[in-house]
Amino acid sequence: MLDSVDLERGISAGSLGTRTERKSSLASEVGPVTRCLRVFKAQSIVTCSLLFSLFVLMSLVAVVYVQQTGRGPLKSSFGCDLHMAPPHSSNRTVNLSYCEVHRPETQINKDIHDKIITSAFQASIRFLVVGDFGRDGFCCQRDVAWEMARAAGTIQPHFIANGGDSFYDFGLLSEMEEQVDTSWRDVYMKHESLKSLPWYSVLGNHEYRGSASAVLSVPQRYPQFVMPDRFYDHEFVSDDRKFRLHMFYLDTSPMIQAYHVSGYDDRADSMLNQPDGIRSQWNRVEEQIAWLEQGLNSSTADIKVVMGHHPVYTSGAHYGEDERFLRKRIAPILEKNGVLLYISGHDHNLQEYWKLYSPTHYIVSAGGSKVEGAFTQGDVYLRYFDQVNGFCAVEASAQGLRIVFVDYVGNVIRTINIAKQQPGPPPS
């Protein structure tokens, strides 16, 4: 007979066996789900580990990049100009802060010197190129100005070529407006190496959102801001009197057919229709083209360079919008007359183009302040594109042109050599 203890043990064992069987039965029912969850959990851990490792790697790359270039994250794109004063307002304030830390202004930029100075100072003509800058010092404009000053102290340029859009966002209504100071004079003229340089300037499309005549009157107030007419030319002679550079400055906004469509720019449509607005200048486009062709054809200078606000080639935000007329009417004139360089702005970045066997190179130097217009579609002739603040330094000599692209912390990021005698196509 079983005593009470054995009976209790048997009942307990039986109960345990029953529970175990139930657990096994339940496990068999939910087993696939459990296994799936376990696999998912394991995969999630692996995925998170990989993502974390990638984050650490990217952080290390970013640290090394900042250490080597001095550039931090892009601080001059969307929203950087939100604190600018309203158009045409008084009591404007120049932004006094910088996006990055810079070397002393008087410290020679050896990289620029070694890459740009190929001839004796007396035998060449040197200049800086900047465009699309006029934002009261915002959007890293002051950083670009600082590095322009260092470059000027290094290469001792003869002038600055201004690609237009000097006064955002609606140009000027009077040459006496305070923005002439806050967007130009107070940002650049405070630097010793820049304050005596003439700025040979062209009109940008934003100048036409105000009064183009007001911008043309700025030289009466500040003779350093050179713009004798909507389109004009100037011949520069080297210090030794043996080399001549002929610069032609265009008014390209009236050539952009989209600007002549009513409603294209609702915020400035009334200004575009003013007697000195873009649409009033359409009748002068043919006059300007004839003037350019005759001037280039008759020029006996060693090197000819043309500048206009709008690019002939671009891979930025304005790809396919603005350049068709310029490609059809302007580019053939440049190439026919042996122009070595066409300089433009408008797309807020740095770019270079060259067509095989063409004598003409095309650059965009519009990184003076706000950077926008990311790479959209590469043109077939594209050789370089960088969405960064910066400017160009150029040396013109009897050998040709030497151009360096410089970013807003002073790094030389590209060098271009354009020989005066370009190789022609192979014999057929």
The most confident of the ranges 228-232, 277-281, 375-379 is: 228-232
Q: What is the pLDDT of residue 73?
A: 61
Q: What's the pLDDT tens digit per position in 166-191?
A: 999 999 999 999 999 999 999 999 99
Confidence tier at 276 by pLDDT (50, 70, 90): confident
Which residues touch 153 (CB under 8 Å, ≥6 apart)?
A: 105, 106, 108, 192, 193
Please name every residue paired with 310 in a beta bridge, in sequence order, or none if there are none: none
Which residues touch 220 (CB under 8 Å, ≥6 apart)?
A: 175
Which residues touch 266 (CB under 8 Å, ≥6 apart)?
A: none
Q: List the alpha helices (DSSP H) in 202-279.
A: 212-216, 218-221, 269-272
Q: What is the pLDDT of residue 83?
A: 87
Q: What is the mean pLDDT of residues 152-158?
A: 95
Q: Above 50 in pLDDT, residue 407?
A: yes
Stretch among 59-73, 183-197, 279-293, 321-335 having the lowest mean pLDDT: 59-73
Q: What is the pLDDT of residue 237?
A: 97
Report the predicted TM-score, pTM, of the whole model to 2 decimal places: 0.82
Q: What's the pLDDT tens digit per position in 53-76?
A: 655 554 443 334 444 445 556 677
Confidence tier at 423 by pLDDT (50, 70, 90): low
Residue 267 structure tokens:
């915020």
Q: What is the pLDDT of residue 36?
A: 52
Confidence tier at 120 by pLDDT (50, 70, 90): confident
Q: What is the mean pLDDT of residues 125-136?
A: 97
Q: Where are the domains of the chain?
A: 1-68, 110-419
- Closest alpha carbon to 166 in 151, 147, 179: 179
How high does pLDDT run on average in the chain? 84
Q: What's the pLDDT tens digit per position in 233-253?
A: 999 999 999 999 999 999 999
Q: What is the mean pLDDT of residues 90-97?
A: 89
Q: What is the pLDDT of residue 316?
A: 79
- DSSP annotation of 210 reads S
Q: What is the pLDDT of residue 138?
A: 96
CATH 3.60.21.10 fits 110-419, yes or no: yes
Q: Above 70 in pLDDT, residue 85?
A: yes
